[in-house]
Amino acid sequence: MRDARYDVLFEPVRIGPVTTRNRFYQVPHCTGMGHRYPRSEAAHRGLKAEGGWGVVCTQEAEIHATSDITPANEARLWDDKDIPALQLMTEAVHAHGSLAAIQLAHNGLHASNRYTRLTPLAPSAVVVDSDDPVQARAMDKADIRAFRQWHVQAAKRAKRAGFDIVYVYAGHDMTLLQHFLLERHNQRSDEYGGSFENRLRLFREVLADTREAVGDSCAVAVRLAVDELLGAEGLRHDVEARDIITALADEPDLWDVNLSDWSNDSQTSRFAKEGYQEDYTRFVKRVTRKPVVGVGRYTSPDSMVRLVRQGHLDLIGGARPSIADPFLPKKIAEGRLEDIRECIGCNICVSGDNTCVPMRCTQNPTTSEEWRRGWHPEVITRAGPVEQHLIVGGGPAGLEAAHVLAKAGHEVIVAEARRAWGGRVSLESRLPGLAEWARVRDWRMGQLQGLANVQLYLDSPLEAADILDYGIAHVALATGASWRRDGAGRMHRKPLGFLADAPVLTPDDVMGGALAGRTGDVVIFDDDRFYMASVLAEVAVAQGNRVSFVTPAAVVAPWADHTLEQARIQRRLMALGVTIVPLHGLAGYGAGQLELACVYSGARRFLACDTLVSVTARRPNDGLFQALAARAGDWADAGLARVTPIGDCHAPGLIAAAVYAGHAYGRGGGAEANPLREDRMLADEAQTGGSALVFGANAL
């Protein structure tokens, strides 16, 4: 039963010519699927509609071949042949009574056109914003007319594909329309550059074009970045963004407002908490009568109600919360708040898009697997008879496996050696900024506790003999992994003998409190290249040490670029006074001095070092597996049928990978045993001839 306090969230909202059934609005977000994996994309979006999101949007949809951001997998509407793929999505969304929205985009100087090899287009002749050695040319009047025409054509195609809401998009420093708005990108001296009115001209024109093209039956939404967090160097919410929205106040049917660039819009929980955008978006409803949607990684219905009651937002935008739990609206509707799988703000989803593969989610292992493996996040069925399962280890892999098996109706015992559940997430969530990661444990414990077919035992370190004594047929070993202390990793493939006599701590030691009480010169050696070393540097600083950060990489935490955190991490360490020594490996240790070697020249330098925190790689805790394997001859008599290592115990990786492995095991046998369908493009093999793509003045 729904709590009446939340009724307001289920009121319909009129958006121009269409009406959404409630206030839950899945704003545009990338999936890493897009045009390349259209069935997977459609199934993913359709599931959101099934879960109660009243509006479900695509990611950005490239409107033309001059906006080619290959190898990213975005949506495409280059020509008519792109319509069927998008139609799959609108049908999937409409099947559940939701509205489908499409975010049309021309990427301007953000597109290098690596595939099409067309010359990128921009307001002025500038270098593109990637590292590609490519320059965009300044659009002339014919180009501007052509661009307007492409946008109109794309809007009409979107309507034919069945979309209800069509976006005009100026955000994330990624679109031509925003490039025209911004002084730093637009150095034109004609009527499209210079003054505020001139820079706004193209935006105004495209908005009017879109309304004329499809506005009779489709709502026309504007997505606008209202602040770039660059101060006077960029767009500010209280200066130009306010002027833009005031100037166009009631022209669109909906304002979708956010921050730019993407790293500001989608900050991780390490750097920003729920609702961090509110100070920037609060003004919008004061200057327009049209509905406003905004995001803030909202998972709490109380926060959502507050935003509506305070007149801050009309629609609660969600991207990451809708990935972590596509059924969030439905769970609120059914009064099942404890079942909401809250996003932890880790941006592993974003890393999928940034590495051009279907996204994955730490909390929701079924993400992107809705079509491919046929996984539904809320439906877990049992194919065969009820079995007994023993899960050894109560970290993310073990808890996920247990909860999936239990939901399928199996008898499950979980034995955990420690006095607390959660394994590595419990330890890591105590590190600076990572508190929300505990949600990985808490949600799973919430699902498991109280189930009659589950027995949970803490303080129960099991050995091979115990497991044979239990005589349970199916055993999953989710015993995790331990950080190495010998320096071996990416740079140093073999253990470093000189570390045997050095004062080395591993991340496990530090998380166990080993740094406490030691002060002096702490050197963090990071060859892991993601988050761990930098959070340990924060711990070391907080404990009063002089801290140096040595890495063979060129920057701190390079992989964190994929989670949009790299620059923030580096800035934070610099602000904390950490000495950063990039491009160095370890060469020796003696008399309180760590010897470093330049990765290019081998040139040596020395650093004072009382404690070395070595963050390189982990070893699977597979001793139990080996011990059981050694007694394979006893299994049949003991009643053991199958012993499966899962998660970090199988191969150390991200928390998301451990959850995924646990889920796959719970569904039956592990990832390899779950059928994997290959999604192919809705290629036009049956059609003859190439696309008749037109560009430049030829389009007129």
Catalytic residue set: 30, 169, 172, 265
Position 671 contacts ligand ADP (CB under 6 A): no
Reading phi first (left if > 0) and then psi (alpha if -120 to 50, else beta), residue 196 is in alpha
Of the pair 345, 393, the CB lying nearest ligand SF4 is at 345
Of the pair 221, 658, the CB lying nearest ligand ADP is at 658
Segment near ligand ADP (CB under 6 A), from 146-154, 208-216, 389-397, 508-516? 389-397
Query: CB under 5 to 8 A by kind: which of ligand ADP, ligand SF4, none does 416 bind?
Result: ligand ADP
Segment near ligand ADP (CB under 6 A), from 104-112, 347-355, 415-423, 683-691? 415-423
Position 415 contacts ligand ADP (CB under 6 A): yes
List the interface residues with ligand ADP, window 36-65 (CB under 6 A).
Answer: none
Q: Please state, in angstroms and as integers, the Cα–Cα distance from residue 48 to each residue in 103, 295, 318, 380, 426, following that order.
A: 17, 16, 11, 17, 30
Reading phi first (left if > 0) and then psi (alpha if -120 to 50, else beta), residue 529 is in left
In angstroms, what is the minimal distance from the CB of 344 to ligand SF4?
4
Hey, which residues does 55 pair with through a beta bridge?
25, 99
Position 658 contacts ligand ADP (CB under 6 A): yes
Query: CB under 5 to 8 A by kind: which of ligand SF4, ligand ADP, none does 352 bind?
Result: none
Interface residues with ligand SF4 (CB under 6 A)?
320, 323-324, 343-349, 361-363
Segment near ligand ADP (CB under 6 A), from 103-111, 387-395, 490-498, 602-610? 387-395
In angstroms, what is the minimal distance from the CB of 419 to ligand SF4?
27
Helix residue ranges per DSSP H, 162-195: 176-181
Position 362 contacts ligand ADP (CB under 6 A): no
Of the pair 461, 590, the CB lying nearest ligand ADP is at 461
In angstroms, what is the minimal distance from the CB of 506 to ligand SF4?
25
User: Mask: binding to ligand ADP, 452-491, rule CB under 6 A, as x and -?
Assistant: --------xxx---------------xxx-----------
Position 428 contacts ligand ADP (CB under 6 A): no
Position 512 contacts ligand ADP (CB under 6 A): no
Of the pair 120, 396, the CB lying nearest ligand ADP is at 396
Of the pair 120, 326, the CB lying nearest ligand SF4 is at 326
Position 649 contacts ligand ADP (CB under 6 A): yes
In angstroms, what is the minimal distance from the CB of 446 to ligand SF4?
16
Quick check: 325 and 47 in contact, CB under 8 A?
no
Helix residue ranges per DSSP H, 475-531: 507-511
Position 392 contacts ligand ADP (CB under 6 A): yes
The rounded distance, in Å, linking the Cα atoms of 4 and 6 is 5
How buried is residue 449: exposed, middle or buried, by Cβ count under 10 Å (0-12/13-18/19+)?
exposed
Position 418 contacts ligand ADP (CB under 6 A): yes
Long-range contacts of 378-381 (CB under 8 A, 24+ apart): 378/51, 378/327, 380/404, 380/407, 380/408, 380/666, 380/667, 381/408
Q: How many CA atoms lie within 13 A of 367 on its CB side?
A: 32
Two structure tokens written together for 28 = 């545009």
Length of the chain: 700
The pair phi, psi for residue 611, each rounded to 5°, is -140, 130
How far, in whole angstroms, is CA 399 from its chain's centroid? 22
The rounded distance, in Å, linking the Cα atoms of 80 and 77 is 7
Q: Which of 16, 193, 647, 670 binds ligand ADP (CB under 6 A)?
A: 647
Query: CB under 5 to 8 A by kind: which of ligand SF4, ligand ADP, none does 348 bind?
Result: ligand SF4
Q: Which of 78, 648, 656, 665 binds ligand ADP (CB under 6 A)?
A: 648
Query: CB under 5 to 8 A by kind: which of ligand SF4, ligand ADP, none does 320 bind?
Result: ligand SF4
Segment near ligand ADP (CB under 6 A), from 42-50, 150-158, 334-342, 392-400? 392-400
Position 666 contacts ligand ADP (CB under 6 A): no
The rounded distance, in Å, linking the Cα atoms of 460 and 458 is 5
Residue 81 CB neighbour total at 10 angstroms? 17
The rounded distance, in Å, linking the Cα atoms of 119 and 117 is 6
Nearest to 592 by CA among 581, 578, 602, 606: 606
Hey, which residues does 18 pair with through a beta bridge?
15
Query: Look-up: residue for tokens 């670029």?
Result: 561
The pair phi, psi for residue 642, each rounded to 5°, is -155, 135
Of the pair 375, 483, the CB lying nearest ligand ADP is at 483
The rounded distance, in Å, linking the Cα atoms of 593 and 374 is 56
In angstroms, what is the minimal distance from the CB of 73 to ligand ADP?
28
The pair phi, psi for residue 152, each rounded to 5°, is -65, -45
Q: Is 438 helix (H, G, I), strand (E, B) or coil?
A: helix
Query: CB under 5 to 8 A by kind: which of ligand ADP, ligand SF4, none does 479 bind?
Result: ligand ADP
In angstroms, what is the minimal distance from the CB of 346 to ligand SF4?
4
Of the pair 29, 179, the CB lying nearest ligand SF4 is at 29
In angstroms, what is the minimal distance from the CB of 504 to ligand ADP?
20
Query: CB under 5 to 8 A by kind: which of ligand SF4, ligand ADP, none does 467 bind?
Result: none
| Residues found near ligand ADP in the complex (CB under 6 A) | 392-398, 415-418, 423-424, 460-462, 478-480, 621, 624, 647-649, 658
